[in-house]
Structure 1
Amino acid sequence: MLDNLIPAHGNVVLLDYPNNPNVGDSLIWLGEIAYLKSRYINIQYVCDSKNYNAQQLRKVLDADTIILVHGGGNFGTLWPEEQAFREKVLLDFASTPCIQLPQSIYFDDDEALNRAAKIIDAHSDYTILTRDKASYELVQKSFKSKVFMCPDMAFFMKPQTMSKESTYDCFVLARNDHERSHDWAVILPFKIHGISYQVRDWLNTNAIEKVIYKIEKHSLIFRRVFDKNNLVLMWLWNQLAKFRRNRGAALMQCGKIVITDRLHAHILCLLLDIPHIVIDNANKKISGFYQAWTKSYTKVRFVKDTDSALNEITKLKNII
């Protein structure tokens, strides 16, 4: 699918680097970079939502440049700042080919949906890639843009290698934000008996990540003069994303079995070949992705509640 949309050896700009500690966003970014490198595609400009500069971007665009916007799960009303940035780009470059890399899309407000539709429909060449059927159908119903189904970009990373022995029988990676569906991770410890476990999220940065962030912050004046297209910064961001990926991989390997309600913990477990159990998040992002792409994998179980998760632990232990 992507090969038909993005010509090999072509020129692109890649917008909306995920400058946050969430491991999942970094996995997507690394997959995007890996894909573009595999096709020998030239990245002319990158930015996050804070250092976006439309005037500078116009200077690098040529007749064949395609604007790519980072994928994920922030298209819609769940993450309004990211949606506002996306809409600004579409307004600023309404006649430049633009591809939204694979997203899960969710709107719970008609006014916001109508505003997005007005902006999207005014764009001359906008393509949206979706990670699940519900998002695909929403785009078909609400927007005039082209739309295709596509797996998450994190799958363009190579399979990961296990680097340490598991400390616990079960590792629980649970969301601690407004995308969690309920307090299942709070309830779970009261129901787990006879196995060792740990409950965490993956938003805490380590020392190396903090150092890289400080380098980025304190090099701002230098970069404004000598790195206007953020290509040196992209190298730094890529290193930061790799450290975040490694932090996430280390967490996944803490348990012989993983339970999670984070989509990219699910994907990382697939890449590491770790048996795991997934519980849906608030906007059904995981279930939609699971049904579209990963339900045939034999070492994953999709469940709706903690009791079902506990039942599946025993079954998965038998195939380890």
Structure 2
Amino acid sequence: MNTPQYSNLGDHAIAKAEIKFFHDYYQNVPVIELPGEILRKYFKYFKYFIKKKDFIFITGGGYLGNLWIREEMLVRNIIENYPNNNIFILPQTVYFTNDEKGINEKSKTISIYNNHKHLNVFLRDKRSYDFFEKYLKNIKSYYVPDIVLYLNESTACKVRNGILFCLRKDLEKTFNCKEVIKYFNDKHEILSYTDTVINETVSIKDRDIVLEKKFNEFRLAKMVITDRLHGMIFAAITGTPCIAFDNISKKVSGVYKWIESLEYIKVVNSFEEFVEAYNYINNLNNEYFNYSFDISMFQKIHHIIDEI
């Protein structure tokens, strides 16, 4: 439930990885994908088709909390309307602002989630996992990687060229890129710009084609500079050197803990740290990095589903 039919390719990559995971581990089990917009439009009708024995999976991402309240409210709606189903929230980040609105919404989330007797939540960063362990003691929570790390898109590619910037423009943005752009201009580097959110609606049918085009942008770059979580992850899974700056919810540094052994990916918090990371990666002298991530970490999700 709640998979994308919109322009955020990070969310589409999450859905792609989730579907691949289900097909790898549960080849003979039918998987029905209900995009968020379809779910909202026909929500009251699905109760006639979804049986008590069906497992409900809510797609992963970074939208639990009050930053993206429309998505949080849909999750609450699912939890409240399917009290007898086993529900799994796939790897997520949770973030509430430290103001009156955030405190009020946090209270509602805690009450609704804690009320469900068969809710399992997977968290992709330690801060989110600690939040659930502290406030949501009635439900089962698990610490696992971002599901996009299940994909391996690294291939030997043509010669890499230029610096690719992949930067946020929304309310999670904290990074001012002017100093970094000047740094590369002084080195006479070719700069180009992309985003994991594009200017077109992407359907389920077109998901793989559009994602492959975006992955190829990353494969052809000499280095990626990003403050998007999935900008960093797309770099990781395509074997592309990357320096990432954190965002407001700290999900970039939180998920980085899973891939900090990848020498070609660094997360920084200042311009000085950026320069140090650039010099380190630049000295690796390697145009092609093979993405090597222990996907057995995802067996934890498989084992939990199997136990239930």
TM-score range, shorter chain: 0.7 to 0.9
Equivalence for 1:313: 278
Deviation at 1:44, TM superposition (A): 3.5
Cα-to-partner distance string for 1:111-156 (whole Å, 9 max, x where unaligned): 1010011111221211110001110110111112110011111122
Equivalence for 1:227: none
Aligned residues of 1:26 and 1:241 also touching (Cα < 8 A): yes
Provide the secondary structure at the position in 2 that maps to 1:43: coil
Q: What is the CA–CA distance in structure 2 between the aligned matches of 1:267 and 1:242, rounded to whole Å?
A: 17
Equivalence for 1:93: 82
Aligned residues of 1:45 and 1:60 also touching (Cα < 8 A): no
Could you list the runs of 5+ residues in structure 1 that have no partner in the other structure?
1-14, 214-235
Aligned residues of 2:79 and 2:113 also touching (Cα < 8 A): yes
Among all aligned residue pairs of Structure 1 and Structure 2, give the percentage whose two residues are the same amino acid: 22
Q: What is the CA–CA distance in structure 1 between the aligned matches of 2:55 and 2:147, rounded to whole Å?
A: 17
Aligned residues of 2:10 and 2:197 also touching (Cα < 8 A): no
Q: What is the CA–CA distance in structure 2 between the aligned matches of 1:45 and 1:255, rounded to whole Å?
A: 33
2:66 to 57, 62, 77: 77
Provide the secondary structure at the position in 2 that maps to 1:255: coil
Moved more, 301-310 or 78-87: 301-310
Q: What is the CA–CA distance in structure 2 between the aligned matches of 1:138 and 1:82, rounded to whole Å?
A: 19
Aligned residues of 2:52 and 2:84 also touching (Cα < 8 A): no
Equivalence for 1:157: 151
- Are the structure 2 counterparts of residues 164 and 60 from structure 1 closer, same or farther at C-alpha, using a change threshold of 3 Å? farther
Equivalence for 1:20: 6
Match of 2:7, as an amino acid? P
Provide the secondary structure at the position in 1 that maps to 2:266: strand
Say whether residues 1:58 and 2:44 are aligned partners.
no
Cα-to-partner distance string for 1:255-293 (whole Å, 9 max, x where unaligned): 2111111111211212111111111111111111112x1
Match of 1:317, as an amino acid? N
Q: What is the CA–CA distance in structure 1 between the aligned matches of 2:182 and 2:149, rounded to whole Å?
A: 35
Q: What is the CA–CA distance in structure 1 between the aligned matches of 2:78 and 2:120, rounded to whole Å?
A: 14
Match of 2:34, as an amino acid? V
- Are the structure 2 counterparts of residues 75 and 88 from structure 1 closer, same or farther at C-alpha, using a change threshold of 3 Å? same
Instruction: Give the 5 Å matches for 1:128-147.
Output: 128-143=121-136, 144-147=138-141
Q: What is the CA–CA distance in structure 2 between the aligned matches of 1:43 and 1:162, rounded to whole Å?
A: 33
Could you list the runs of 5+ residues in structure 2 that have no partner in the other structure?
287-308
Deviation at 1:47, TM superposition (A): 2.8
Equivalence for 1:32: 18
Provide the secondary structure at the position in 2 that maps to 1:180: coil
Deviation at 1:247, TM superposition (A): 3.1
Provide the secondary structure at the position in 1 that maps to 2:80: helix
Deviation at 1:19, TM superposition (A): 2.1
Instruction: Give the 5 Å matches for 1:82-231.
Output: 82-108=71-97, 109-143=102-136, 144-161=138-155, 163-168=157-162, 170-183=163-176, 185-192=177-184, 193-196=186-189, 197-205=191-199
* TM-score between both structures, scaled by the size of structure 1: 0.80
- Are the structure 2 counterparts of residues 89 and 139 from structure 1 closer, same or farther at C-alpha, using a change threshold of 3 Å? same
Equivalence for 2:36: 48
Q: What is the CA–CA distance in structure 2 between the aligned matches of 1:110 and 1:163, rounded to whole Å?
A: 48
Provide the secondary structure at the position in 2 that maps to 1:42: coil
Equivalence for 1:286: 252
Say whether residues 1:258 and 2:224 are aligned partners.
yes
- Are the structure 2 counterparts of residues 158 and 202 from structure 1 closer, same or farther at C-alpha, using a change threshold of 3 Å? closer
Deviation at 1:251, TM superposition (A): 2.5
* TM-score between both structures, scaled by the size of structure 2: 0.83
User: How many residues align structurally?
Assistant: 275
Equivalence for 1:233: none
Say whether residues 1:68 and 2:57 are aligned partners.
yes
